[in-house]
Structure 1
C-alpha cells in the first residue's frame, strides 16, 4: 500500500503539474488561477479527484504499520500514527477543494461582471488560504513529517527495519520541513523561502515512502500476535538477526 500510494500519487501529480503548472500555480493570484482552471475543466476536475484519492491511500498503511512492525503498544508510534492519519485527512480536504469548491468559483469568475469577479477573487483567496495553505499544506505537512520523523527514530533505536531507511527518512523529512517557509510566506510576506525545498523535499519523501513499502515487503519482520516471547528481528548492516537467523550463520 505504501508503494501503491507513492506510485499512483506521483503519476496523478505529474499529470497535474504538466497541464496545470501545479504546485507553482498555487502561489498565483485568483485572476490567474481561476481562468486557467475554467479553461481546463472538466478534465482538470477529474485529475484533481485522482490526485486526492491516490494520496488518501497512504492512510491505510500508516494506520496498519504499528501492527506490521509488532509495535502496537509503542506509545510514541501510536501518537505518530494518529498524527499521520489526521495529516492524510487534512491533505485530502485540501485536494478536494479543487473538485467541490473551485469549479463554481471559476465558472462565476468567467461569466460574471467586474464586481462579481472582484467578489469571487476575494472568496477564492479566503478558501485557498484556509483549506489549502492552513489545512492541507501547513497542518497536513507538519503532521505527516512528525509521523515520519518518529518512525525513523524508532527504526534507528529498535532496528525493526534497516537503519539506512531511518537515516534517509530523517534527511528527506528535514528537507520537506523547509517547504514550510513557502507556506508561511503566503501570510507573512518576506518570510525566508527556499524555492527548491518543496520539489526536493516532497520528491525525496515520496521516494522514501516507496522504499519503506519495499523494505516491508522484502525483509522479515514480526507481526504482532499472541506470542510475547519471539523478539522482533534486529537489523545490523542490512542483515536480520533473530534466533532463527543468527547473523554469524
Structure 2
C-alpha cells in the first residue's frame, strides 16, 4: 500500500459510491423507497431485481475498499491517533459492507417469498425483511457505519494535522464527518437530519478525491536536496 495506490482507491471508492447511489435512486427510488411499506419496497425490488442487486453489490464493493484505504492512510503518520484510526476505518468498512450486502444476498429471497400465494409465507418473508433491515440496515450499516466513518475521518485529520494540506482540508473533512454523524439521529424521522447526512456524504466524497490528489502531488514532488556545507579552508 503506497501513496499512489491509496490515492487510486480513494478516488475509486468515491466514484463508485456516487455512481451506484445515483443508479439506485433512478431505478429503485433509493433511499426514499425505504420509507414505503415493506410490501411496496419488496415489490419495487422485484421489478428491477437484477439491476438493484447489482448496484448494491457495487456499493458494497466501494465500501469494502475502505479497509485497504485505512491501512494505506495509516502509513502516512506514526502518531498513536493514526494507529487507532486504522482499525476504526477497517471496522467502518465491515459495518457498511454487512449492511449493504443484505440486498443482493438476502432480499431476493424475501422478495420472492413476499410474492407467494401462501399468506403465511408472504407474511414471514415481509417480517424477515423488516428484521434484516432493522439490524443489518439501520443498526449496523447506517448507525454503526455513520459513527465509525465519522470517527475514522476525524482521527485521520487529528493525526495528519496540516501535513497534507492547509486548514481547508481539515475543515472540509471535519464538516463532512459531523454531517455524516448526524445520520445516527435518522430514526427520529427529521427531514433536516436526512438532508444533513446526504450533504455530509457529498462533501466527504469531495474530501476523499481532494485527499487522493494531494497524495499524488506529494508523491511527485521531488525531495529537496540536503544543504551543502560551506567549504572549510585549513590554513
Q: Deviations over 1:18-45 (max 9, x none)?
A: 1111122233331111111011112221
Q: Deviations over 1:117-152 (max 9, x none)?
A: 222221111111001111111111101110101111
Structure 2 residue aligned with 1:126: 131
Q: TM-score, normalised by structure 1?
A: 0.80
CA distance in 2 between counterparts of 1:175 and 1:191 reads: 14
Question: Does 2:74 match 1:63?
Answer: no
Aligned pair partner of 2:24 in 16, 20, 43: 16
Structure 1 residue aligned with 2:58: 50
CA distance in 2 between counterparts of 1:76 and 1:176 reads: 21
Structure 1 residue aligned with 2:3: none
Structure 2 residue aligned with 1:230: none
Three-state SS of the structure 2 residue aligned to 1:196 is helix
Aligned pair partner of 1:98 in 103, 114, 130: 103
Matches within 5 A, 1:92-241: 92-156=97-161, 159-163=162-166, 164-182=168-186, 184-185=187-188, 194-220=193-219
Shift of 1:166: 1.2
Matches within 5 A, 1:17-32: 17-32=25-40
Aligned pair partner of 2:91 in 86, 89, 92: 86
Aligned length: 218
Residues 155, 166 of structure 1: 8 Å contact kept: no
Q: TM-score, normalised by structure 2?
A: 0.84
Shift of 1:94: 0.7
1:191 and 1:48, CA in 2 relative to 1: closer, same or farther beyond 3 A? closer
The structure having more radius of gyration, on CA atoms, is: 2
Shift of 1:221: 9.1
CA distance in 1 between counterparts of 2:85 and 2:53 reads: 32
Residues 181, 193 of structure 1: 8 Å contact kept: no
Higher helix share: 2
Question: Does 2:15 match 1:4?
Answer: no
CA distance in 1 between counterparts of 2:16 and 2:129 reads: 29
Residues 181, 192 of structure 1: 8 Å contact kept: no
CA distance in 2 between counterparts of 1:102 and 1:112 reads: 18
